[in-house]
A and B are shown apart, each in its own frame.
Chain A
Amino acid sequence: MPKRERLDALEEKISARRQGQVPPEAQARVNANMLGLAYRLLVEILVGIGVGGFVGWWMDKVFDTKPIWMLVFLVLGMGAGLMNSVRTVNEMRRKQDQAEAAKRRENEE
């Protein structure tokens, strides 16, 4: 049927145009997610430094070794914060991959 073919051609043209184009509400959702992620990473790193600093300060008080432990633990705290944020990103990426795989399966069905 020519009508059917015309519709198919139109469909193809539309999907070709759509390729690489993100619908606005999906884009907004991605932006909100990115904002949430940025906030989480910031909290993660700051808290790492804070907790490291606190542990160092406490150890300096106990052993009377001001300021050696505080300096050491500030650096270690930065490391811990960085590790936590890397883990957060990996976790998010895994979740995103899972969601995308589920979506693709849904589309194929």
Chain B
Amino acid sequence: MAGTSNADGGAGIDPMHQFEVHPIIELPTIAGVDTSFTNASLWMVLAIGLSSMFLIIASRRTSIVPGRLQLMGEMSYSFVANMVKENVGTEGMKYFPFIFSLFVFILFCNMLGMLPYSFTVTSHLIVTFALAATVFLLVTLVGFARHGVGFLKLFVPSGIPVVLLPLLVVIEVISYLTRPVSLSVRLFGNMMAGHTMLKIFGGFVVGLSSAGLIPLAIAPFALMVAFTGLELLIAGLQAYVFTILTCIYLNEAIHMDH
């Protein structure tokens, strides 16, 4: 994101301004929940729309020798499919549609956030936490559906003296509960820190050059270019990390080889 000054203008460039959620279409509050269509909703809808469009167009006219778009679609498919097969095994392919949607949604949200004037949905903890909580619920339900009460054995480490067992079971349960939190905090932290940093350096460039010190503005500008590249890498990498951790958790729920 380029360093754009906010409504206050001048030197007051607020690096956190980009994260503000404001309603675009005001809608009534239903059961204590504000249902307004916000800029966050807009960018989520855009991510879903664009990713669906990309995959539909990529798979519409398929040929044996794929075109550029078809190749991109096929590569993203086989990338996630291999990840699921390697980390969960063939039983995991049942959950492939969920994992693939998750990967594509996060990737598109992250990448759309890199456009100037856009809004990064994944830089909000509540969004990443909702995604991680969905994963957590799915994994827990799959575990109980496949192993019944036996899934609780996951919390009982083997080869531990009976005296220590209650303590370790509590610690294991807490450690299980930290999963959705650490999953969401990792994605949120990376996205928010990166975008704030870009905005701060952007602010330096704008501030220094508007003060007539254009030669001094070159250094932060160069850094910003480098950080933009790094941010693009992080946007892809974090989508990958989120997906692969989902696969690892799913594998544990299905195979329980702890």
Contacts and interface: CB of A to CB of B under 8 A. Distances in A.
A47 B181 contact: yes
Chain A interface helix/strand/loop/mixed: helix
A47 B185 contact: yes
B158 interface: no
Contacts of A55: 174, 177
Contact of B171 (A40, A47, A50, A76): A76
Nearest to B177: A51
A83 B182 CA distance: 14
Contacts of A84: 175, 178, 182
Nearest to B184: A47
B229 to A, nearest CB: 13
Contacts of A80: 171-172, 174-175, 178
A51 B185 contact: no
Contacts, number: 45
A82 to B, nearest CB: 9
Given A80-B171, A83-B171, A51 B178 contact: yes
B178 A81 contact: yes
B170 interface: yes
A56 to B, nearest CB: 10
Given A51-B177, A55-B177, A84-B178, A79 B185 contact: no
Q: Which of A47, A50, A79 has the most CB of B within 10 A?
A: A47
A51 B180 CA distance: 10
Contact of A76 (B174, B181, B185): B174
Interface in A43-96: 43-44, 46-48, 50-52, 55, 73, 76-77, 79-81, 83-84
A99 to B, nearest CB: 14
B171 A79 contact: yes
Contacts of A44: 178, 182
Given A50-B181, A51-B181, A43 B186 contact: yes
B67 interface: no
A32 B172 CA distance: 30
A47 B170 contact: no
A76 B251 CA distance: 26
Contacts of B170: 76
B185 A48 contact: no
Interface in B178-204: 178, 181-182, 185-186, 189
B186 A48 contact: no
Interface of A: 40, 43-44, 46-48, 50-52, 55, 73, 76-77, 79-81, 83-84
Given A80-B172, A83-B172, 14 more contacts: A40-B186, A43-B182, A47-B181, A47-B185, A51-B181, A73-B174, A76-B167, A76-B174, A77-B178, A80-B178, A81-B175, A83-B171, A83-B175, A84-B182
